[in-house]
Every structure is written in structure tokens, then in C-alpha cells.
């Protein structure tokens, strides 16, 4: 199949690119490198021993995007490109609505021009808002609590309506929980701009000496050790879920939302302990006040992914930490030159 990846040079995009190249798909990556690095694509090319096309462009540049799509003629699009920092979305909501929502409309217009009617969308468990029950299944009420989550929810609604109006169209909305870890080679991984918002990259940077200590946001939640509980999923498992979703979109019509998680809840202190064991490095931390907007616990019921996609997460927390450490220790400055 011919697969078009927006944001394919990013953290999840590059791991998915490597996975689908191993399945002999023809691939075109479309990325503006605003939150990624071209060197990631060079490393994927070396790791896969496969070639693929790469077009530099912004999803908001409708002309450039439409041309890339018409030229490549994809069978399916995987849409990763978007802004993803919760805190930044609160400070800059218009940038998030423009990039994530208008950018998706631009993509759908380009897909129409290219005659492509299948899409896999990078959604997020954040669309569930404050959990009313756990584990979260896809029937849980949707209620985003920040502009980032609102953009994901809006795009889900847009894709659902687009599917209903477009004969033969299919859309798979993958609701990620917490992606972490790196490819076994340590050659590609998570390389956040500026100070990491997310736990695992921050812990990695403490372990490698780039940061002095971790601030644990809250020690008084109603959880097993008082710290936040999340469903961390290995990025390679997540990449495999995308490969399965591409096959599903090829064989089915309509719009399906699917959780992508392990079903296991893991606390912040569990992650700290596992990372120290996996890296052999201390991760000093200080428990501070809760982060506004955080929920106590959030983890998936992943049974729909198993029944619809035939996919299950297989990699455990130790592997997540070991591979995150391998990436970070081999690339202390991420993709930037040493």
C-alpha cells in the first residue's frame, strides 16, 4: 500500500515509519520539522535499509500539501502532524486550533483532491477528560479539559462526519495513552523541544545529567503511593498498532475510535524506580504541588484494539525504561549535534 505520513519525522511518526517500511509499504513523509529533525528520517532509512519519499511542508500550506498528496497518490494517510503540549495549548489556544483543526481540514481537502479516502488519526486519551470510571473504554463520555484535548475531540467529530458523507471512506481514531520508550537500536527516540512536559523524557534527562532533579507533581492523590497513575505504552507497540490500523482502514469503511494502551496503571514513583533499575542511574526527585489539570489515574480498556485490530501491547515498563535510557545515553542532546 501507498502510505502518506504527516509528521512522519516526529517521535511516534518515525517509529511508525520504521514499522511500516518493514511491511514493504511505499511511504511518503510530509513534515515541516517544527518539532522534529530530518536526521531522524536518515536514521530510519539506515535502520530499515529502505528508501521513502520526504516532502518538507506545513499542513497549513494547503497548496503544498495537496500537491504532495496528488503527486504521491496514497491509499491511506496517517495524520501525526499537530501540536501536543497541554500547557502550551492553554497559553496559546489559537495556535492549537489553527494547527490541529484547520491543519486537518487542509489535509482532508488535499485527500479529496488526491482521491484518498482512508485515514488513521493520532488522537489521545485526553478526550475522555476526568475519568468517570476505570479502565476507560471507548464508550466513556468525551469531555476535553484543555485546548489541546478540545482540538483532538473536534478532529474526531470532523472525521466522523467526513466518513458519513464520503462514500467508502474509513477513519481509525487511535486514542493514545502515554507513549514512552524508544526503538531497540537507540537510534531514534523522543526529543522534545525545550523543557520536557512529559514524565519519561524529563526522567531520562535527569538520569543523563541534563536536569538536576525531577519534580513529582503531587503526592496526595488517591492512588497506591499518592502519585499520578497512567497507562504507559511502548512506542514500538504503538507503532505496531498503527500498522494494524492501516490494514483495518484498508479492509473496512466507517469511523472507529480505538484505545491504544496496555490496560496497566503505573505510578510516577513506579516509573522512577523502574528507570533507575533500567539505567543504573539515580533519579533524584522532590514531591511538589499537583499540576493543574492533571487527573489522579487514567488507564485503558484495550480490548477493542485486540478484537478489531488483532493488536495487543507486549512490552513492559522495564523495556520502556531500558530503551528510553539507551536512546538518551547514546544521544544526550537528542538529534542535535553532540
Residue 217 or 335 with smaller CB distance to ligand WQD: 217
* Other beta carbons less than 10 A from residue 53's beta carbon: 14
Question: Out of 83, 84, 175, 234, which residue is the one contacting ligand WQD (CB under 6 A)?
Answer: 84
Determine, following the binding rule CB under 6 A, whether residue 198 of this chain makes contact with ligand WQD.
yes
Backbone angles phi, psi at 191, to 5 degrees: -135, 75
Cβ closer to ligand WQD: 214 or 320?
A: 214
The one-character DSSP state at 102 is: I
14 interacts with ligand WQD by CB under 6 A: no
Which CB sits closer to ligand WQD, 216 or 283?
Answer: 216
Q: Which helix (H) or strand (E) holds 190?
A: none
Helix (H, G, I), strand (E, B) or coil at 71: helix
Instruction: State the Cα–Cα distance between residues 108 and 114, nearest whole angstrom.
Output: 10
Contact between 77 and 27 under an 8 Å Cβ cutoff? The reply is: no
| Interface with ligand WQD (CB under 6 A), residue from 3, 5, 136, 199 | 199
Quick one: 28 or 144, whose CB is closer to ligand WQD?
144
Residue range at the interface with ligand WQD (CB under 6 A); choices 92-100, 137-145, 183-191, 197-205 = 197-205
**Three-point CA angle 255, 128, 247, nearest 5°:** 30
CB 217 → ligand WQD: shortest distance, Å?
A: 4
Q: What residues form DSSP beta bridges with 259?
A: 175
- Counting contacts by CB under 6 A, is residue 41 touching ligand WQD? no
Give how many residues touch ligand WQD by CB under 6 A: 18
CB of 54 to ligand WQD, least distance (A): 23
| Gap between the Cα atoms of 28 and 111, Å rounded | 14
Alpha-carbon dihedral 242, 120, 179, 80, rounded to 10 degrees: 120
Strands 229-230, 26-31: pairing kind: unpaired
When binding is defined by CB under 6 A, the residue of 20, 268, 269, 274 that contacts ligand WQD is 268
Task: Give me 61's grid cell.
Answer: 500550506
In the set 11, 30, 96, 148, the catalytic residue is 148
Smallest distance from ligand WQD to CB 290, Å: 7
Active-site residue, 248 included = no
Closest contact distance (angstroms) between CB of 124 and ligand WQD is 4
Choices 33-41, 110-118, 213-221, 320-328 (CB under 6 A): range interacting with ligand WQD: 213-221
Residue 115, C-alpha cell as written in the block: 482521491
Query: Cβ 15 to ligand WQD, closest distance in Å?
Result: 13
281-315 CB burial, b ≥16 within 10 A, e <16: bebebeeeeeeeeebbbbbbbbebbeebbebebeb
**Cα separation, 237 vs 261, whole angstroms:** 9
Residue 202 binds to ligand WQD (criterion: CB under 6 A): yes
Count of other CB atoms within 10 angstroms of residue 136? 24
Using alpha carbons, select from 116, 97, 100 the residue that is nearest to residue 108: 116
Taking CB under 6 A as the criterion, the residue among 178, 205, 264, 328 binding ligand WQD is 178
Contact pattern from residue 103 through residue 142 relative to ligand WQD, giving x for each residue in contact according to CB under 6 A and a dash for the rest: ---------------------x-x----------------
291 scored as a contact of ligand WQD (CB under 6 A): yes
215 near ligand WQD, judged by CB under 6 A: yes
Nearer to ligand WQD, 197 or 303 (CB): 197
**233, β-bridge pairs:** 179
Q: What is the binding site for ligand WQD (CB under 6 A)?
A: 84, 86, 124, 126, 178, 197-199, 202, 214-217, 228, 230, 268, 291, 294
Catalytic residue positions?
148
Amino acid at each position: 500500500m501507498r502510505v502518506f505520513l504527516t509528521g512522519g519525522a516526529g517521535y511516534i511518526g518515525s517509529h511508525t515509519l520504521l514499522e511500516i517500511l518493514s511491511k514493504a509499504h511505499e511511504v511518503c513523509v510530509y513534515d515541516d520539522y517544527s518539532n522534529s529533525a530530518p536526521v531522524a528520517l536518515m536514521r530510519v532509512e539506515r535502520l530499515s535499509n529502505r528508501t521513502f519519499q520526504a516532502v518538507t511542508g506545513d499542513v497549513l500550506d494547503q497548496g503544498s500539501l495537496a500537491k504532495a498528496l496528488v503527486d504521491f497518490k496514497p491509499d491511506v494517510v496517517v495524520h501525526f502532524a499537530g501540536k501536543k503540549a497541554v500547557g502550551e495549548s492553554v497559553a496559546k489556544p489559537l495556535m492549537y486550533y489553527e494547527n490541529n483543526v484547520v491543519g486537518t481540514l487542509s489535509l482532508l481537502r488535499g485527500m479529496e483532491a488526491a482521491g484518498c479516502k482512508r485515514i488513521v488519526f493520532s488522537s489521545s486519551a485526553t478526550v475522555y477528560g476526568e475519568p468517570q470510571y476505570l479502565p476507560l473504554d471507548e464508550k466513556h463520555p468525551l469531555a476535553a479539559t484543555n485546548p489541546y484535548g478540545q482540538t483532538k475531540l473536534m478532529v474526531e467529530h470532523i472525521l466522523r462526519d467526513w466518513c458519513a458523507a464520503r462514500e467508502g471512506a474509513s477513519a481509525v481514531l487511535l486514542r493514545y495513552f502515554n507513549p514512552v520508550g524508544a526503538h531497540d537500536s537507540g537510534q531514534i527516540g523522543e526529543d522534545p523541544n525545550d523543557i520536557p512536559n512529559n514524565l519519561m523524557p524529563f526522567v531520562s534527562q535527569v538520569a543523563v545529567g541534563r536536569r538536576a532533579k525531577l519534580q513529582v507533581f503531587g503526592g496526595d492523590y488517591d492512588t497506591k503511593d499518592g502519585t499520578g497513575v497512567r497507562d504507559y505504552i511502548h512506542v514500538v507497540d504503538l507503532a505496531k498498532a498503527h500498522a494494524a490500523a492501516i490494514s483495518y482502514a484498508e479492509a473496512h469503511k466507517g469511523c472507529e475510535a480505538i484505545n491504544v494502551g496496555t490496560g496497566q496503571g503505573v505510578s510516577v514513583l513506579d516509573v522512577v524506580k523502574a528507570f533507575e533499575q533500567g539505567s543504573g542511574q539515580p533519579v533524584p526527585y522532590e514531591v511538589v504541588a499537583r499540576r493543574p489539570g492533571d487527573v489522579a489515574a487514567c488507564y485503558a480498556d484495550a480490548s477493542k484494539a485486540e478484537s478489531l485490530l488483532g493488536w495487543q501491547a507486549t512490552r513492559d515498563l522495564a523495556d520502556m525504561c531500558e530503551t528510553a535510557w539507551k536512546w538518551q545515553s547514546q544521544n544526550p542532546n537528542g538529534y542535535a549535534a553532540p
